[in-house]
Amino acid sequence: MRKCTGRLAMGAAVLGGTWVALRPRTLRWGATDDEATRVLPGDELVTDAQYVTTRSLTIHAPAEAVFPWLVQLGQNRGGFYTYDALENLFRLNIHSADSIHAEWQELQPGVDYVSLDPQQTMKMTIVQLQAPQTMVLRTGAPGEAPQEPGDFFKQEIAGTWAFIVRPLDATTSRLIVRLRVAWRPTAAARLAAWALLEPAHFIMERGMMLGIKKRAEAGV
């Protein structure tokens, strides 16, 4: 029993040390110094964020070919282009689209939203939408007051999720994705976010960005 406990403790220590070493890279995966530090649309909506990520990649397609995939995001539309099988282990019933759907393209800020779950209890309202470069979501349903930072474990999280498509030339774009979230700061919330939220968010968001890149480039 002592040997087993010791091995588990050692394994946990190794995993923890590995995550500490990798964490700075995951927070700004693919982003340049300028992209990671520049002010982006939506930043002003959550001023005291406990968790901020900026991730970027280059897509060999024009902004006009990238942006329609962003507009389709959501469990209520085209999914998240990431690891559907993994998400559906949690009964999220997500099926990512592999084509552009005209019926999902006409959205209105303040009216339309992205749902993160099939029951649509976790909604993010579209607050800025300027094709083909900017889409900003905030936590909370349309018509409701913005979510205030509260209990992390009750999902009382104030947050914004910004998607920026920056043209590099006529055939190439940069996709920049920034998340800013805040909750009532407690030791338990910090530990849960560090150990659970951050690794899962990195894996799934990186997969989503690569999924968008694959689809946009295939359609060019």
Per residue in 193-203, pLDDT tens? 999 999 999 99
Question: Is 12 a member of any domain?
Answer: no
The helix/strand/coil state of 39 is coil
Per residue in 102-129, pLDDT tens? 999 999 999 999 999 999 999 999 999 9
Q: Is the peptide bond before 146 cis (omega within 30 degrees of 0)?
A: no
Q: What distances in angstroms separate CA 128 from CA 27, 116, 146, 191, one per listed residue?
A: 23, 18, 14, 32
Q: Phi, psi at residue 192, to the nearest 5°?
A: -65, -40
Q: Does residue 14 carry a pLDDT above 90? A: no
Per residue in 76-108, pLDDT tens? 999 999 999 999 888 889 999 999 999 999 999
Question: Is 181 a member of any domain?
Answer: yes
Q: What distances in angstroms separate CA 117 from CA 120, 122, 144, 207, one per listed residue?
A: 5, 6, 18, 18
Residue 219 contacts by C-beta under 8 Å, 6 or more apart in sequence? 61, 65, 100
Residue 20: its pLDDT value, please? 65
Give the pLDDT mean for 45-50: 94
Across the chain, mean pLDDT equals 91
Global pTM exceeds 0.75: yes
Q: Give me the amino acid identity at 28.
A: R
Q: Phi, psi at residue 173, to the nearest 5°?
A: -135, 160
Q: Does residue 19 carry a pLDDT above 70? A: no
Bridge partners (DSSP) listed for residue 137: 126, 161
Q: Which domain holds residue 40?
A: 24-218
Question: Is 9 a member of any domain?
Answer: no
- Number of folded domains that form the chain: 1
Question: Is 13 a member of any domain?
Answer: no
CATH number of the domain encompassing residue 113: 3.30.530.20
How far is it, in rounded angstroms, from Cα 77 to Cα 120?
12
Question: Is 3 a member of any domain?
Answer: no
Q: Does residue 49 carry a pLDDT above 80? A: yes
Question: Is 2 a member of any domain?
Answer: no
How far is it, in rounded angstroms, from Cα 97 to Cα 94?
9
Q: Report the share of the chain in percent with pLDDT over 70.
A: 90
Question: Is 116 a member of any domain?
Answer: yes
Res. 10 pLDDT band, cuts 50 70 90 = very low
Question: Is 140 a member of any domain?
Answer: yes
Give the pLDDT mean for 174-196: 96
Strands 172-182 and 123-130: unpaired
